[in-house]
Chains A and B, each alone.
Chain A
Amino acid sequence: MSTFSTAPPSDDVQVRCPRLGHQVHFGYCRAENLGSPCFKALDCWYLQFDVVGYFKQTLSGADFAAAFVHQGRPKMQTLVDLIQQAKQGTPEEPSGPGKGSA
């Protein structure tokens, strides 16, 4: 079992991204969503360091909520939402788990 760190890793430390299916750097995870962290960043880094504390420290409360609120969205709802956004011509920054195919 690996040891837990309180400090964040450097940006070039890699994990395999479960969504993309290949290695990515921590620098990608913490800024994947237009500079905001990937909504899965807490999942993927939680036991490597205090990722929750890190993002609570580096993000405002609103930004933290915005980055991580969409966990658990099922595929069907995501698709219906995206269809409606596309129809209205108002694309929003997408996020949500299980979306997309590796």
Chain B
Amino acid sequence: MKTQKFLLTEQEMPRKWYNIMADMPTPMEPPLHPGTGQPCGPEDLAPIFPMNLIEQEVSTDRWIDIPEEILDRYAIWRPSPLFRARNLEKALDTPARIYFKNEGVSPAGSHKPNTALAQAYYNKVAGTKKITTETGAGQWGSSLAMCCAFFGIECKVFMVKISYNQKPYRRLMMETWGANCTASPSTETKAGRSILEKNPDSPGSLGMAISEAVEEAVSDENTKYALGSVLNHVMIHQSIIGLEAQKQMEMAGDYPDVIIGSAGGGSNFAGLAFPFARDKINGKEIDIIAVEPTSCPTMTRGPFAYDFGDTVQMTPLLPMHTLGHNFVPAPIHAGGLRYHGMSPIVSQLILDNIIRPEAIHQLETFKAGLTFARSEGYISAPECNHAVAMTIREALKAKEEGKEKVILFNWSGHGLVDMASYASYFKGELADHDLPQEQIDAALKDLETLPKPRQGGK
């Protein structure tokens, strides 16, 4: 029987996270405070994050020790298995060797606990008694709930009321892990009460929920706030995915020619890709592909510019890979993949030609998800299907070219709590769209007069 799973022992788990800030070909420009125009400092974030996490956020150390207490808890599901997708290879009749890192094995079903656990731990060390956060469908909220339970920290999740009512299973997962899951808007914060005064039947919004979560953190010195994506300390914690994968690929006797991950906020993509990006920066030839929806191409068609966040240009100024504030993208039906601006680090690595962005239509992603489910068995989360679809494209290209390409992708989570999106696909309710070039051109014109950050090079 041929090997399909490459497993590390707990003792072989990486002892350090990787921080790509140390190796960026072009150093990152700091985010600027919207009020002062000066770089944001630790004191700006101290009301909601503990200092040990703020230090990681701004750290340029290449390696950051993973505390034993975190390793002990990571060991519940880590090291996650690396699979050789032999059945998918067979289904595609491709000479490519396909590997995937299965992050769906965490108790919460995705990669999110990799940072939730670290954030809960560092808060515990800093003396935090309670952590607040916001959630929509609940993937992040449930991950944080579980990890707070591990460290005996109270967890308060403001779940958007419409989600609270529509997604009972994630809510129940949070409650099972001991979190207080409150429908937002709530009567528990000024922000929530203010909204309910105006509309007692408000179904809530993610913006309202984050306001409540931040307010509660700011209002109590023993309470902090946690975020599951985009920020650098999140990317650092997720790097354990790629660091494990490097060891496992070595076990398999292979090294990837292609690395693939779906990219929304960027954390699952970064988790797998950044350790390999370091290899590429040091001379390895790897094609590192960040996949996004064609219907919302933040990476594939956008310039890198200072994006003024509103039409009166009052809220600058983080260098973002963006289509500009007047850009109007098309529909998309895969959750978690549609931040208007991509992670600044990912954006810069695109400019530096370390990462290559690609876009895929949603129907292709669901078709790929079915191919994967019917060959490898696992049902992917909708956003994860973007990576599966790109992998299939690359595998079929290898077949056309007759090349024995080695492809590695991040299977970031299962879709078992999100079967409604598959139902929509089966019913033919999803549609593909393409953005007319003239609309993009018009949006890009808006950016021509704005100040530009450095575009690669030092």
Interface residues of A (CB under 8 A from B): 1-2, 14-24, 28, 32-35, 38, 40, 42-48, 52, 65, 68-87, 89, 91, 93-102
Interface residues of B (CB under 8 A from A): 31-35, 40, 44-45, 47-48, 133-141, 160, 162-163, 166-167, 189-191, 194-195, 198-199, 202-203, 205-211, 214-215, 217-219, 227-231, 265, 295-296, 307-312, 315-318, 320, 322, 324-341, 344, 382, 418, 420-421, 424, 429, 431-435
**Is the CB–CB distance between A20 and B206 below 8 Å?**
yes
Residues of A within 8 A of B344 (CB): 74
**Is the CB–CB distance between A94 and B320 below 8 Å?**
no
Q: List 17 A-B contacts (CB under 8 A).
A: A1-B431, A16-B332, A20-B162, A20-B206, A24-B162, A43-B340, A46-B331, A47-B295, A47-B331, A72-B320, A73-B315, A74-B307, A77-B33, A77-B309, A82-B215, A85-B215, A100-B207
- Given A73-B309, A83-B48, are A20 and B325 also a contact pair (CB < 8 Å)? no
Residues of A within 8 A of B210 (CB): 78, 82, 94, 99-100
Residues of B within 8 A of A34 (CB): 195, 198-199, 202
Most buried by B among A14, A21, A70, A82: A21
Residues of B within 8 A of A71 (CB): 309-310, 325-327, 340
When chains A and B are docked, how far (Å) is the Cα of A70 from the Cα of B310? 5
- Tell me the minimal C-beta distance from A91 to chain B in angstroms: 4
**Is the CB–CB distance between A1 and B432 below 8 Å?**
yes
Most buried by A among B133, B189, B433: B433
- Tell me the minimal C-beta distance from B413 to chain A in angstroms: 11
- Given A34-B195, A83-B47, A97-B340, are A69 and B311 also a contact pair (CB < 8 Å)? yes
11 additional A-B pairs beyond A70-B310, A77-B309, beta carbons within 8 Å, are: A19-B338, A20-B160, A21-B138, A22-B420, A34-B198, A35-B199, A72-B307, A81-B34, A86-B191, A91-B194, A99-B210
When chains A and B are docked, how far (Å) is the Cα of A78 from the Cα of B210? 10
Q: B136 — nearest CB in chain A belongs to which residue?
A: A20
| Interface pairs A-B: 10 shortest CB-CB | A21-B335, A21-B137, A18-B338, A94-B207, A20-B136, A2-B431, A101-B140, A100-B206, A91-B191, A98-B339
- Tell me the minimal C-beta distance from A82 to chain B in angstroms: 4
**Is the CB–CB distance between B207 and A43 below 8 Å?**
no
Q: B333 — nearest CB in chain A belongs to which residue?
A: A16
Q: B46 — nearest CB in chain A belongs to which residue?
A: A83
Residues of B within 8 A of A33 (CB): 205, 207
Residues of B within 8 A of A93 (CB): 195, 207
Residues of B within 8 A of A80 (CB): 33-35, 40, 44-45
> A43 touches which one: B31, B45, B296, B337 (CB < 8 A)?
B296
- Tell me the minimal C-beta distance from B44 to chain A in angstroms: 5
Residues of B within 8 A of A94 (CB): 191, 205, 207-208, 210-211
Q: A20 — nearest CB in chain B belongs to which residue?
A: B136
Most buried by B among A32, A40, A65, A74: A74
Q: B313 — nearest CB in chain A belongs to which residue?
A: A69
When chains A and B are docked, how far (Å) is the Cα of A54 from the Cα of B264? 28
- Tell me the minimal C-beta distance from B228 to chain A in angstroms: 4
When chains A and B are docked, how far (Å) is the Cα of A33 from the Cα of B91? 47
When chains A and B are docked, how far (Å) is the Cα of A22 from the Cα of B328? 21
**Is the CB–CB distance between B45 and A22 below 8 Å?**
no
When chains A and B are docked, how far (Å) is the Cα of A65 from the Cα of B199? 21
Residues of B within 8 A of A15 (CB): 331, 333
- Tell me the minimal C-beta distance from A84 to chain B in angstroms: 7
**Is the CB–CB distance between A21 and B336 below 8 Å?**
yes
- Given A72-B320, A101-B134, are A22 and B335 also a contact pair (CB < 8 Å)? yes
- Given A35-B199, A74-B318, A101-B228, are A83 and B207 also a contact pair (CB < 8 Å)? no
When chains A and B are docked, how far (Å) is the Cα of A44 from the Cα of B307? 20
When chains A and B are docked, how far (Å) is the Cα of A7 from the Cα of B12? 59
When chains A and B are docked, how far (Å) is the Cα of A71 from the Cα of B207? 13
Residues of B within 8 A of A84 (CB): 35
> A100 touches which one: B134, B295, B310, B337 (CB < 8 A)?
B134
**Is the CB–CB distance between A86 and B309 below 8 Å?**
no
**Is the CB–CB distance between A44 and B134 below 8 Å?**
no
Residues of A within 8 A of B333 (CB): 15-16
**Is the CB–CB distance between A86 and B215 below 8 Å?**
yes
**Is the CB–CB distance between A21 and B136 below 8 Å?**
yes
- Tell me the minimal C-beta distance from A17 to chain B in angstroms: 7
Q: A81 — nearest CB in chain B belongs to which residue?
A: B34
> A69 touches which one: B198, B310, B329, B432 (CB < 8 A)?
B310
When chains A and B are docked, how far (Å) is the Cα of A73 from the Cα of B325? 9
Q: A51 — nearest CB in chain B belongs to which residue?
A: B328
- Tell me the minimal C-beta distance from B245 to chain A in angstroms: 24
When chains A and B are docked, how far (Å) is the Cα of A25 from the Cα of B344? 32
When chains A and B are docked, how far (Å) is the Cα of A24 from the Cα of B348? 34
